[in-house]
Each structure stands twice: as structure tokens, then as C-alpha cells.
Amino acid sequence: MNSESKRTVAQVLPALTTGGVERGVIDLSKELLEKGFRPLIISAGGELASELNDLKIKHIPLEIGRKRLSTFLMIRKLSEVFLHEEVNIIHARSRLPAWISKFALNRIKKKRKISWLTTVHGPYTVNFYSRIMTSGDIVIAVSDFIKNYIINNYDIDPKKIITIPRGVDVTKYHPGYKPDKSWFDSLHLREQWSIEKPILTLPARLTRWKGQEQFIDLLFKLKNRGFEFHGLIVGGAHKNKTEYGRFLQRKVATLGLSDHISILGNRKDLRQIMAISSITFSLTQKPEAFGRTTVESLSLGIPVIGYNHGGTGEILKKWFPIGLVKPFMIDEAVDKVALLLQSPQIVPFKNPFPLQNMLDSTLNIYNKLSDAKNK
């Protein structure tokens, strides 16, 4: 049960897997705890759930994100949780959990005053199902690209939408960070990745729209221009999409790039990999909501070449505009790589996207919603 002195914020999402949304939920919960709130997370669990025990953050395991009819049986249970835990604010992070939570909230609205907040994390397909994410008392957009997407596609008062970009922990991601010697030695990197050559890295999960095929084409053209490099494709595939990884391996071999490109799969040392890279890339085939790895790389002082669309375009315009290329223009991207390899550019030190900004802005919204409910 909640004590009267603490406001309870329940964040609802499908699961606590290793993704940017999930990491942000945990970071925000830690901040809530430090600032006198009572954080509560409701999800099906996952790899990151174990962190919550150490942090003494309550997690209630409920399957509210699986697309099946039985998920709607969770509505009654969830409404009981909201009452029992004396929830003050519900913060929905995903569409199906938002629907289940909204139905649960409607069941108990005469018993308890609870604020309703949503965050739009992506350019969802425009339909009735997605509309739930624009129903918050306040709607958070993770970039101006997403804010404009909401305004252009839904009947919503623009004043309800607040842009809060994701942030990175500047104590972990900063230009002075260097991987320690044991990391280099344990992986025998000089032998595996030819790290005496420039390292060119695409950090993205293995799915067609993330641009791995275009990255391989880019490196093929770069090799034909006589440049030395080693390319890294870093990111895992969904368990049902492992064939795409094999397809990429075949493409690399067909183009004669097996000695020039390594496909690494899912890694827990992405920060170290980006820190030793000469350039990282964002070549998404459709606009991305934000571009977390773009911010992480630039925070480490590593240049990024990315398509001028979506969140990545916003980030690069603000922070490293020389890295921008027109979407899908591989030859232009090759020219930009050649320029940066021949004339390295320093990434400006000032980070426009610190994690603390995101935390402070979100807590301001929680306080605003709490004050409004208490009037």
C-alpha cells in the first residue's frame, strides 16, 4: 500500500527486455525513488527485471502486452492493482498495455482520481488502435519528428504534446571514455577485427529496415575506392528472424568482404565497440523516432553518418551536421565517409541530450499532473 506522503507512479509496458524504452523506464524509476515518489512497474518481466530487486523498486508481473484475447482478462486484475497500490499517475509506454490500463482506469474512476499519461515512442501505423497513445492528459513525444507525426495524423490539441528527447548517462558516455586493456586482450581484437584499420560500425538490431544491406553496399564501394577499414554490424535478431543474419553473411561473402566485415550479433559491450570506432552509422530505411545509438556515439566523441530523416536527422542537425546525408543516397554516404577518414572532424563536446534533462522534464510533468488532480 502507498503511504499518503508518497505519490505512486505506475509505468506500464509489455516487458523489461534490453531496449531503449525499457532502459528509460528503469532510469526514470530510479529518479522517482530518489525524488520521493513511489515507482511501480507493471510488465511481463524480462532480462532487466532483476535490476529492480536490487533497487527496491516494485515490479508487478502481468501479461498486458501480448496480442491475444486472454490479455483482456487482465483488465479487472489491473484495476485492482491500481486501487490496492493507491496509484496516482499511470504512464503508458506501449499501445496494448495502454488499452488494458485505460479500460482498467475507467472501471475505477469513481473510486480514485488517477492521472493518465502516455509516451509516443514511435511513428505507429495510423489507426484506431494507435489512437490510444494520444489520449493522455499530457502526451510525451520522444522527438519533434514524433510530435509533428502526432499533430499531422491525429485530432489532438498540440498544447497537450510535450517533446522530451531520450537522454544518455554522461557519466558513462563521454569523450574521455576508453575501454580498458582487459577488454581488448580478452577478445583478441587486433586479430579478429583488424583494429589497426579504421573501424566502421553499424549498431542496430538485425531487421531489414535498419539498413544493414545498405551498410554492406557502402563498404563495398568504399573498398573499391581503395580505403582500408574493418566494418562491424552489431545487433541481434529476433528469434523468429535469424534467417536475415544468414542472408547478410551470404551477401558479405558474395561481395568478397568476408575479411572486411564482421557480423557480431547481440552484444553487451556496444559502448566499448562504439568507443573504438572511427565512425558509426544510422542508415534506417524509414524515419526512426529518436536515434539512441546516434546520441550514445556522439556522446563518446565518435562521428556519426546518418540519413537526414526522423530523430537521427534532428540529432545530427543539432550536434554534428557534417554527418548528414540524404536518405538512401549511398554514393553520398561513401563520399562523406571518405571525407571523415581523410579529414577527421571533432564532435562538439557539449551534449544536448543528457539523461538528467529527460528525467527532470518527466518529473516536472508528474508534478504538474499531481497538482492538477489535487485542485
Provide the CATH number for the domain around residue 187.
3.40.50.2000
Look at 5 and 7; give whichever has higher pLDDT. 7
> Are 154 and 134 a contacting pair, CB within 8 Å?
yes
In a domain, 256, yes or no: yes
Which has the minimum average pLDDT: 8-22, 116-130, 334-348, 350-364?
8-22
Say if CB 283 and CB 214 are below 8 A apart: yes
Q: Helix or strand or coil: residue 248?
A: helix
145 & 221 share domain: no
pLDDT band (50, 70, 90) for residue 184:
confident
**Together in a domain, 368 and 322:** no
- Domain check: are 148 and 187 in the same one? no
Grid coordinates of 123: 511513428
Same domain, 323 and 215: yes
| 41 and 77 inside one domain | yes
Same domain, yes or no: 295 and 222:
yes
Q: Are residues 191 and 324 in the same domain?
A: yes
SS3 assignment, position 201: strand
Report the residue count for the chain.
375
Name residue 180's amino acid: D
Q: In terms of DSSP H, where are the helices of the chain?
A: 20-34, 49-55, 74-84, 95-108, 128-131, 144-153, 181-187, 189-193, 212-224, 242-254, 270-275, 292-299, 310-319, 330-342, 355-374
Which residue from 132, 148, 118, 131 is spatially nearest to 310, judged by alpha carbons?
Answer: 148
| 322 has a pLDDT exceeding 80 | yes
State mean pLDDT over 214-219: 98
Region of 17 on the Ramachandran plot (φ > 0 left; ψ -120 to 50 alpha; else beta)? beta
**Domain that includes residue 78, residue range:** 8-167+355-374
What mean pLDDT is reported for the chain? 93
Asked if residue 292 and residue 159 are part of one domain, the reply reads no
Same domain, 208 and 140: no
Give the strands of the sheet with 230-234, arranged side by side: 261-265, 230-234, 199-203, 279-282, 304-307, 324-325
Residue 176 placed within a domain = no
Structural domain contains residue 172: no
Same domain, 32 and 134: yes
Has residue 80 been placed in a domain? yes
Give how many domains the chain has, as a whole number.
2
In a domain, 3, yes or no: no
Lowest mean pLDDT among 147-156, 197-206, 234-243: 234-243
Q: 3-state DSSP call for residue 341? A: helix
In this structure, the answer to whether residues 186 and 136 fall within a common structural domain is no
- Residue 75: pLDDT over 70: yes
Q: Give the range among 40-49, 63-72, 294-303, 322-331 with minimum mean pLDDT.
A: 63-72
367 and 294 in a single domain? The answer is no
Given this model, what pLDDT does residue 191 score?
A: 62
pTM: 0.89
Exposed/middle/buried for 77, CB within 10 Å: 0-12, 13-18, 19+?
middle
Query: In this predicted structure, what is the pLDDT of residue 265?
Result: 86
What would the mean pLDDT of 97-119 be, rounded to a whole number?
96
Any domain includes 347: no
Asked whether residue 374 carries a pLDDT value surpassing 80, the answer given is no
User: Could you tell me which residues come within 8 angstroms of residue 117 by beta carbon, excluding any fewer than 6 positions away?
Assistant: 89, 90, 91, 92, 136, 137, 138, 139, 140, 365, 366, 369
Rounded Cα distance, 79 and 138, in Å: 21
